[in-house]
């Protein structure tokens, strides 16, 4: 997906936000204003995602030796945190509105929310393909999906106000929107935190990795295992590999074999290995896993 599509999505969502806020103030609908606030966060999330994508393309330099790829993870964390804060705020406003109900102009709510739904669906379509491959864009995509569903709920609430005069439906709809926002935000933010905290990727198991390395011919044991992600697509691995002194001349062969196993079986392309001789004291201050055979 080109950056141009993201830029267009930002512009369209900003225009929609202004229209929704105006419609919400005129109609007295908290649900419509809530949808507008969330839509403003959509525009901000798309702008952040666009900026982060551009920063992430910068290559490594003397100050950032790994490059700037984590800019997208940081952007996703910002977007998801904002999503959660918005969800909490909407819960507060909806509960308050239950105790202090206000009249709602149903037709204005339905018309504006229907326009918002159309724009949300177009924006979601623009970001869907890339959301499969980028946590950064996926966070922005979730903003739009949540907003589209929110628009559906607002339309339903407006229709019930028109047909039955049920003003309480408006804050109830707001609670449904907020609940969905919080659920998705909390679900996705765990991936960001795991990557930024250099946690073991969900699709990797440290003991399995250690056993695979220990199973390579010539390897006596392995310890000080670490596996982490620089971004959501790249897994990195490091370990201390123990071999016999008699195999010193085979060190490069063993190294290539270990890297081949990690690459073919686990998809790990970036590997750092330190070799030690059996019986020697390790200079490693911490040991995550020890595997020997």
Q: Which band of pLDDT confidence, cut at 50, 70 and 90, is reported for residue 1?
A: very low
Q: Taking 90 as the threshold, does the pLDDT of residue 9 lie above it?
A: no
Pair (122, 49) in one structural domain: yes
Distance, CA of 257 to CA of 216 (rounded, Å): 7
Q: What is the pLDDT of residue 209?
A: 94
pLDDT at 108: 72
* Cα 79 to Cα 87: distance, rounded to the nearest angstrom: 12
Rounded to an integer, the average pLDDT of 273-290 is: 69
| Dihedral sign computed on CA atoms, order 284, 290, 291, 292 | positive
pLDDT at 35: 66
**Residues 156, 137 within the same domain:** yes
User: Most distant CA pair in the chain: distance in Å?
Assistant: 87
292 φ, ψ (degrees, to nearest 5): -145, 160
Helices 71-99 and 30-56 pack at an angle, to 10 degrees, of 170
**Mean pLDDT, rounded, for 75-96:** 83
Tell whether 201 is covered by a domain: no
Instruction: Based on the fold, state whether residues 242 and 182 are members of the same structural domain.
Output: no
Q: Are residues 98 and 42 in the same domain?
A: yes
- Whether 180 maps to a domain, the answer reads yes
pLDDT at 240: 94
Domain boundary among 196, 214, 234: 196
Prediction pTM value = 0.70
Average pLDDT, stretch 183-189? 83
Token pair, residue 25, equals: 């103030």
CB distance 227 to 262 below 8 Å? no
Task: Tell me: do 174 and 222 sit in the same domain.
Answer: no
CA distance linking residue 131 with residue 135, whole number of Å: 7
The position carrying tokens 């699709």 is 203
pLDDT for 90-116, tens place per residue?
A: 888 778 777 766 555 667 767 777 877
219-258 confidence digits (pLDDT tens): 999 999 999 988 877 889 999 999 999 999 999 999 999 9
pLDDT band at 58 (very low <50, low <70, confident <90, very high): confident
Residues 263, 129 share a domain: no
Q: Identify the domain containing residue 149 by its residue range.
A: 3-196
Between residues 204 and 166, which one has the greater pLDDT?
204
The verdict on 119 and 18 lying in the same domain is yes
Confidence of residue 34 (pLDDT cuts 50, 70, 90): low
User: Per-residue confidence at 129, pLDDT binned at 50, 70, 90?
Assistant: low
CATH code of 261's domain:
3.30.70.1350
Would you say residue 245 lies in a domain? yes
Residue from 223, 207, 218, 222 nearest 266 by CA: 207
Least-confidence region, from 30-44, 63-77, 174-188, 198-212: 30-44
- Do 164 and 222 have their domain in common? no
Q: What is the CATH number of the domain that holds 37?
A: 1.20.1510.10
Round the average pLDDT of the chain to a whole number and report it.
Answer: 79
Residue at a domain's end among 135, 170, 196? 196
Q: How confident is the model at residue 71 (pLDDT cuts 50, 70, 90)?
A: confident
The residue-averaged pLDDT of 74-101 equals 81
pLDDT score, position 124: 74
pLDDT above 90: residue 274:
yes
Whether residue 211 sits in one domain with residue 269: yes
CB-based burial label for 49 (10 Å; 0-12, 13-18, 19+): buried
């Amino acid at each position: 997906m080109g950056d141009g599509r993201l830029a267009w999505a930002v512009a369209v969502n900003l225009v929609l936000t202004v229209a929704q806020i105006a419609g919400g103030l005129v109609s007295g609908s908290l649900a419509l204003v809530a949808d507008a606030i969330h839509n403003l966060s959509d525009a901000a999330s798309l702008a952040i995602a666009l900026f982060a994508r551009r920063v992430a393309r910068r290559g490594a330099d003397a100050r950032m030796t790994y490059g700037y790829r984590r800019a997208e993870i940081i952007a996703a964390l910002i977007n998801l945190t904002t999503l959660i804060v918005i969800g909490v705020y909407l819960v507060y406003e909806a509960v308050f509105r239950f105790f202090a109900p206000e009249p709602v102009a149903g037709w204005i709510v339905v018309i504006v929310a229907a326009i918002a739904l159309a724009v949300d669906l177009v924006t979601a379509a623009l970001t869907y393909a890339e959301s499969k491959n980028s946590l950064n864009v996926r966070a922005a995509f979730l903003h739009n999906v949540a907003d589209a569903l929110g628009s559906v709920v607002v339309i339903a609430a407006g229709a019930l106000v028109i047909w039955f005069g049920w003003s309480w439906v408006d804050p109830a709809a707001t609670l449904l929107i907020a609940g969905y926002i919080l659920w998705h935000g909390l679900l996705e933010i765990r991936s960001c935190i795991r990557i930024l905290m250099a946690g073991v990727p969900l699709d990797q198991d440290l003991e399995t990795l250690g056993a695979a390395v220990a199973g390579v011919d010539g390897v006596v044991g392995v310890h000080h295992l670490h596996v982490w992600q620089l971004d959501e697509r790249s897994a990195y691995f490091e370990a201390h590999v123990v071999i016999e002194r008699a195999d010193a001349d085979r060190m490069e062969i063993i190294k290539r074999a270990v890297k081949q196993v990690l690459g073919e079986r686990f998809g790990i392309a970036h590997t750092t290995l330190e070799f030690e001789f059996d019986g020697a004291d390790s200079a490693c201050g911490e040991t995550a896993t020890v595997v020997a055979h």
